[in-house]
Structure formats: structure tokens, C-alpha cells
């Protein structure tokens, strides 16, 4: 006879209903879906955190762990996996996928069985933007497996993140964007990605060959015909773009008014900077489970092996559960150990990040200390010269994100960055966001082709793939991935001029100034100097 174990709450699993949401009924007991469980590492000491990628060491002197070796040393313990499989069987759940390297198990079952297994009650909720399956309170499991499980994702399928892009002009801006001169379009001040690469002095003679850029998308899709047309008009090689399905997500283009604008912006910016790089787009549902699984699969992808990943989706830290923040952050730490750079958009709604509670909020995942947070500027140019660059701030709903994390403490690499205390009452000093910046104001935005139409699109969504493309070029030149850039940016690179300091403007609660600030970080890129500083 099986021994009954006391039930224990899963730390950090507490959830609240979305603001304004109303319960419209219980989820039927026979409704089926899948859930991802994150397990602890077999190596509790996790010495990866003290390895060379986490200190101010040039890429050629860094030692990264391979994906296979990471699985061997830091993956899930087979005995832990067996215990969770037994737990699943006891509760009528089916094991769909086991991934020791990602420390995850995917279970399929009914709402009734999941309610029993995790001590919760799933309800259907209705809110301003639609409906979702949700829960409130904490999850619980038997005490004999409580130490094994670090997070449960997928019981709740509310939208987790939003794309950080803004469309400036719904009209066709140009049928023939130019690939040569960096002069902005006179009628709207917009740029093609190659024009921005010239303005930001990206290294020449490189095309991203033998590199792979991963892109995370939580909706929308791309049309190969659009990609071909866009790059033909730029007179650039048509990039190789591959879609990877995660948790049922897929390349599903709709209209230019939907998430297609985000997908095409990301692909076209990254690939225009590094046209010979392989572009792999990981499509997943916009849930905490889908987002987590997409990032994890991209980082551990042993087939495509992206060395840099662009993420243009996010949300204020307050919108995430503690278990989500912890598990996403652990995955980003893994990326750093593997030599994979993660570029994340810092948000498009100023220092409040779109939250109307009178407080300041930073965007996650840009606030993770293991990612390169990408803020936004407004850019003006004449010929191949930047004439003015300031903080992007048109209004509270069209301004770069940035500020001080309420979750993650000040990382060691920012000790000398003069990160201010949080602008919130009684706020301490945490991780400062962003790290770097680039053109993001829709008024000086990017000319992209979406569903057959050219638009000018801005937002920090554009800055993440801009840096991803630059890093692909640098990786190509160095012959080794730069990996986790942050310790270098705030360390030995600081004196080598790899960034254009932005000292004018604010994003609400924070103002730009000399050196690092909570609007544009260290500034916008000087690509050639960044490459030189990294040993290229």
C-alpha cells in the first residue's frame, strides 16, 4: 500500500487572477492539455556560476561548457525523473516528453487529474482581452517530491507577454528601400537595417556565415515570399529561415495588424545585418509554459546550435510568478554557461512599463542579470553621420523601458555603474536595466515588409535583433561566441569606446546622463570598436 505523504506548497507558484477578470465557470474535468514540470539540477552546488563566462574575460580566454557536458553535469537526475513519472502515473497523467538536459517533463492529462495532482481548482476566466484557463493561490505536491519540482507551467494559459514593437505609419513607405546610403527617408525619418548598420559603424566584410541566430516568437508568422522580396530590394542575399514548433506553436501568419509585424521585424532586422546567418524562429503559444519551453529548447538546440538569441516579448516583473522569474532566470544562466548571448527588449512604455499603479516597473526577461537588456533611442542622421541621438520618449505609452529591478539584486558587474535606488518609495538598488540601446522610436524607425506592405516599425523589439545581428558578425570574426557580454560591457570594454553615450532625455522616472543610465544603459553601439575591444 502506497505511503500517504503530507502535501507541500510549491514555492513561488502563487497566482492571482488578471485584473478585472471574472470567473465564468469551472474547467470541465475531462478537458485535456499539457503541463511542463521543471526539475532541480543533479548538481546542487552549480559551480557554473563561477566559471569564466561570468567574469570579465575576453571570448578567446573563455571556456564554455558543451550542451552534452552540461546535460551530464547539470541535467536532471534519472532518479528524480523516475519519481515524477511515478507521481504522474498515480494521478492518471501521461508522460509525453522527458528532457534531462532541459530538466523538464511534459505531462498530458485532464483538468480533473491535474486539479488532484497539484491541489488546485482550474477555472475559466473572462477579461477585457478574451478568456483564459486559470487558477489562484499556490500549487501543492506530496512532500516526497516537493524538493524535486522547481516549477509547474501550463495549468494556467493566460497571455504572459506582449511584443515590444510599435508601428509608426500604416501606409506604404517605400517600394524600393535603398541598401547603400545611410541617409534616412526624407519623408518620415526612417531607416533600413543596413543604413543603421552603417550609422552604428558595424564591422564591414562580415555576413554572419556559419552563425545561427535564434528568435523567440509567441504568435504570428512569416511569409517566405515577403522575405525574398524584402532582401531582393535591399540587394542582399535571401536568408535561410527555419521554423521550429514548440508546444503546438507554429508559423501562422495572419495580417499586418497582428503579431506578424513582430515576427517580420525580428527576422528582417537580424538577417539584414547578418544575411548569411541561419535564422531559426521558435514559435510557441503566448503562455508562461510556451515562452519558457521555447527559450529552453532554443538554448539546448543541439541541431541548429544558435550562438545568439533575440527575444522581443516581455512584461512587467509584477506580472510573473516567482517560480517563472526563477526558472527563466536559471535558463538564462545556462545560456551564459553555454556561450549563448540572449538579447531582450526592455519595453516600450517608459519607466512604468505600462502598469498604472503609480509605481515604476522594469520589464522581464530584460531584467534578468544574465541577458543583454536592450533599450531605445531616437535617432537623426545626415549622410553616414549621426547628428543627434536621445532617449526615446514620445509619451508614457511610447518610450523606452528601463529602471531598477524589484526582483534581482545588483549584479557584481554593475557595482561601478552607479545604478540608482529604485524610484519607488523605499526602493533599494537592484539590477539596472537596460545594458545597451539603439534606435527604437517609431518616428525614426525601421523600414520592414509585413504581409506584402512596407511599414515603419519601432520599439525596443527592433533593438534586440539589431544587437543579435551584430553579435553574429562578431562571432563570425572571432571564430568563437562572445557569450555573456555583460561583465565585459561594464568591465574592460568600458574604456574602449564601444558605445555612443546618450546623455539627453528621460523615460519618465529616470534621466539620461554621462555613463550608464536607466534609459539607454551604456548607450548605442559602435560595432567596429566593440569588435576590436573583444579581440577582433
Catalytic residue among 190, 405, 461, 524: 461
Beta partners for residue 94, in sequence order? 108
**pTM for this one?**
0.95
Strand ranges, E, within 259-361: 278-283, 308-311, 313-316, 341-345
Same domain, 434 and 529: yes
Tell me how far apart the alpha carbons of residues 281 and 278 are, in angstroms, rounded to a whole number.
10
Q: What is the pLDDT of residue 80?
A: 98
Question: Does 156 qualify as catalytic in the annotation?
Answer: no
Residue 52 is predicted with a pLDDT of 84
Any domain includes 1: no
> For residue 329, what are the CA distances in angstroms to 58, 305, 393, 395?
23, 20, 29, 30
Answer yes or no: do 447 and 509 share one domain.
yes
Q: Are the beta carbons of 90 and 121 closer than 8 angstroms?
A: no
Angle at 54 between CA 48 and CA 58, to 5 degrees: 125
State which of 102, 128, 153 marks the end of a domain.
153
Shared domain for 128 and 247, answered yes or no, is: no
* Residue 315 lies inside a defined structural domain of this protein: yes
CA–CA separation, 237 and 529 (whole Å): 26
Question: pLDDT at position 258, please?
Answer: 87
Q: Hey, what's the torsion of the CAs at 339, 372, 13, 154, to 10 degrees?
A: -70
Q: Considering the domain boundaries, does residue 55 fall inside one?
A: no
Domain extent at residue 339: 162-533
- 353 occurs within a structural domain: yes
- C-alpha 176/C-alpha 125 separation (Å) is 47
Phi, psi of 289 (to 5 degrees): -70, -50
- Quickly list DSSP for 89-149: HHTT-EEEEEETTTTEEEEEEEHHHHHHHHT---EEEEETTEEEEE--B--EEETTTTTTE
Residues 81 and 183 in one domain: no
Whether residue 253 is found in the same domain as residue 180: yes
8 Å CB contact between 373 and 344: yes
CB-based burial label for 143 (10 Å; 0-12, 13-18, 19+): exposed
Shared domain for 421 and 442, answered yes or no, is: yes
**Does the annotation count 262 as an active-site position?**
yes
Reference 372, options 460, 435, 292, 459; nearest CA is: 435
Looking at the domain assignment, is residue 118 inside a domain? yes
Q: Let me know if residue 438 belongs to a domain.
A: yes
- The CATH number given to whatever domain includes residue 166 is 3.40.50.200
pLDDT for 404? 98
Which residue in 266, 301, 317, 435 is the catalytic one?
266
The answer to whether residues 145 and 170 belong to one domain is no
Residues 381 and 458 in one domain: yes
- Domain endpoint, select from 99, 128, 153: 153
Q: Does 360 lie in the same domain as 280?
A: yes
Radius of gyration of the chain (CA): 22
Low-confidence ranges of the chain (pLDDT < 70): 1-3, 46-50, 169-188
Query: Which 3-state string (H, E, C) describes 439-482?
Result: ECCHHHCEEEEECCEEEEEECHHHHHHHHHHHHHHHHHHHCCCC
Do 208 and 135 belong together in one domain?
no
Asked if 167 and 261 count as a contact pair (C-beta separation under 8 A), the reply is: yes
| In a shared domain, residues 433 and 354 | yes
Classify residue 327: in a domain, yes or no: yes
User: Is 196 found in the same domain as 105?
Assistant: no
Contacts of 525 (CB under 8 A, 6+ apart): 200, 201, 202, 436, 438, 466, 467, 470, 498, 499, 500
Query: Last residue of some domain: 97, 131, 153?
Result: 153
Q: Which of 101, 150, 262, 522 is catalytic?
A: 262
Q: How far is CA 8 from the centre of its chain?
A: 32
Tell whether 189 is covered by a domain. yes
pLDDT at position 175 is 39
CB atoms within 10 A of CB 92: 13
| Number of domains within the chain | 2
Amino acid at each position: 500500500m502506497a505511503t500517504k505523504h503530507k502535501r507541500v506548497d510549491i514555492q513561488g507558484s502563487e497566482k492571482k487572477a488578471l485584473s478585472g477578470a471574472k470567473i465564468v465557470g469551472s474547467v470541465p474535468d475531462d478537458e485535456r492539455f499539457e503541463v511542463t514540470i521543471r526539475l532541480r539540477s543533479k548538481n546542487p552546488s552549480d559551480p557554473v556560476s563561477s566559471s569564466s563566462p561570468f567574469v570579465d574575460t575576453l571570448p578567446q580566454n573563455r571556456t564554455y561548457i558543451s550542451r552534452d557536458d552540461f546535460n551530464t553535469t547539470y541535467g536532471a537526475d534519472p532518479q528524480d525523473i523516475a519519481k515524477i513519472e511515478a507521481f504522474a502515473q498515480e494521478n492518471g497523467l501521461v508522460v509525453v516528453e522527458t528532457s534531462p538536459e532541459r530538466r523538464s517533463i511534459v505531462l498530458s492529462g485532464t483538468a480533473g487529474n491535474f486539479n488532484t495532482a497539484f491541489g488546485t481548482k482550474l477555472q475559466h476566466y473572462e477579461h477585457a482581452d478574451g478568456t483564459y484557463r486559470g487558477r489562484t493561490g499556490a500549487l501543492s505536491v506530496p512532500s516526497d517530491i516537493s524538493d524535486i519540482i522547481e516549477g509547474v507551467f501550463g495549468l494556467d494559459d493566460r497571455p504572459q507577454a506582449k511584443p515590444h514593437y510599435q508601428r509608426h505609419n500604416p501606409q506604404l513607405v517605400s517600394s524600393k528601400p535603398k541598401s547603400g546610403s545611410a541617409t534616412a527617408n526624407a519623408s518620415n525619418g526612417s531607416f533600413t537595417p543596413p543604413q543603421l548598420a552603417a550609422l552604428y559603424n558595424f564591422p564591414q566584410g562580415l555576413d554572419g556565415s556559419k552563425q545561427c541566430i535564434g528568435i523567440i516568437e509567441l504568435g504570428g508568422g512569416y511569409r517566405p515570399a515577403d522575405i525574398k522580396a524584402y532582401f531582393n530590394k535591399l540587394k542582399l542575399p535571401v536568408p535561410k529561415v527555419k521554423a521550429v514548433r514548440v508546444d503546438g506553436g507554429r508559423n501562422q501568419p495572419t495580417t499586418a495588424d497582428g503579431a506578424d509585424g513582430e515576427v517580420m521585424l525580428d527576422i528582417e532586422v537580424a538577417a539584414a545585418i547578418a544575411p548569411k546567418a541561419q535564422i531559426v524562429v521558435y514559435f510557441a503559444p503566448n503562455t508562461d509554459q510556451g515562452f519558457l519551453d521555447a527559450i529552453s529548447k532554443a538554448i539546448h538546440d543541439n541541431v541548429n546550435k544558435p550562438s545568439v538569441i533575440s527575444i522581443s516579448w516581455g512584461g512587467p516583473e509584477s506580472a510573473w510568478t516567482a517560480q517563472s522569474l526563477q526558472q527563466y532566470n536559471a535558463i538564462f544562466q545556462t545560456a551564459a554557461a553555454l556561450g549563448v548571448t540572449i538579447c531582450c527588449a526592455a519595453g516600450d512604455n517608459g519607466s512604468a512599463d505600462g502598469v498604472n499603479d503609480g509605481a515604476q516597473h522594469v520589464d522581464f526577461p530584460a531584467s534578468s542579470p544574465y541577458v543583454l537588456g536592450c533599450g531605445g533611442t531616437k535617432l537623426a542622421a545626415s549622410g553616414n553621420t549621426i547628428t543627434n541621438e536621445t532617449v526615446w520618449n514620445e509619451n508614457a505609452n511610447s518610450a523606452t523601458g528601463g529602471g531598477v529591478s524589484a526582483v534581482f539584486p545588483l549584479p557584481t558587474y554593475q557595482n561601478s555603474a552607479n545604478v540608482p535606488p529604485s524610484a519607488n518609495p523605499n526602493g533599494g538598488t537592484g539590477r539596472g536595466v537596460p545594458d545597451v540601446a539603439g534606435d527604437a522610436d517609431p518616428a525614426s524607425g525601421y523600414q520592414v515588409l509585413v504581409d506584402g506592405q512596407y511599414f515603419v516599425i519601432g520599439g525596443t523589439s527592433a533593438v534586440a535583433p539589431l544587437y543579435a545581428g551584430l553579435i553574429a558578425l562578431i562571432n563570425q570574426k572571432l571564430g568563437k561566441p562572445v557569450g555573456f557580454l555583460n561583465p565585459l560591457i561594464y568591465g574592460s570594454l568600458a574604456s574602449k569606446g564601444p558605445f555612443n553615450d546618450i546623455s539627453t532625455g528621460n523615460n519618465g522616472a529616470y534621466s539620461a546622463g554621462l555613463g550608464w543610465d536607466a534609459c539607454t544603459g551604456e548607450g548605442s553601439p559602435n560595432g567596429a570598436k566593440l569588435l576590436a575591444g573583444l579581440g577582433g
